[in-house]
Amino acid sequence: MNDRNPPDEFADVNEAVGEEWEAETTPYERIRHVVAHTYSPVSADTVADDARTAPKTARKHLNTLADEGFVETTPGEQGGTLYRRSPESLVVEQAADILDHVSTDELLTRIQEMREQLTEYRSEFGVDSPEELAVNQTNQALSETGPPQDEIDPETIREWKTLRRNLAFANAALSIDNAEQFVDSDRQSTDDSVPA
pLDDT digits 0-9 by tens, 29-87 = 999 999 999 999 999 999 999 999 999 999 999 999 999 999 999 998 888 899 999 99
Domains of the chain plus CATH, in order, are: 13-85 (1.10.10.10), 89-192 (no CATH)
DSSP per-residue letters across the chain = ---PPPPHHHHTHHHHHHHHHHHHS-HHHHHHHHHHT--S-EEHHHHHHHHTS-HHHHHHHHHHHHHHTSEEEEE-TTS-EEEEE-HHHHHHHHHHHHHHHS-HHHHHHHHHHHHHHHHHHHHHHTSSSHHHHHHHHHHHHHH--SSPPPPPPHHHHHHHHHHHHHHHHHHHHHHHHHHHHHHHHHHHHHHHHS--
pLDDT digits 0-9 by tens, 137-147 = 777 766 665 54
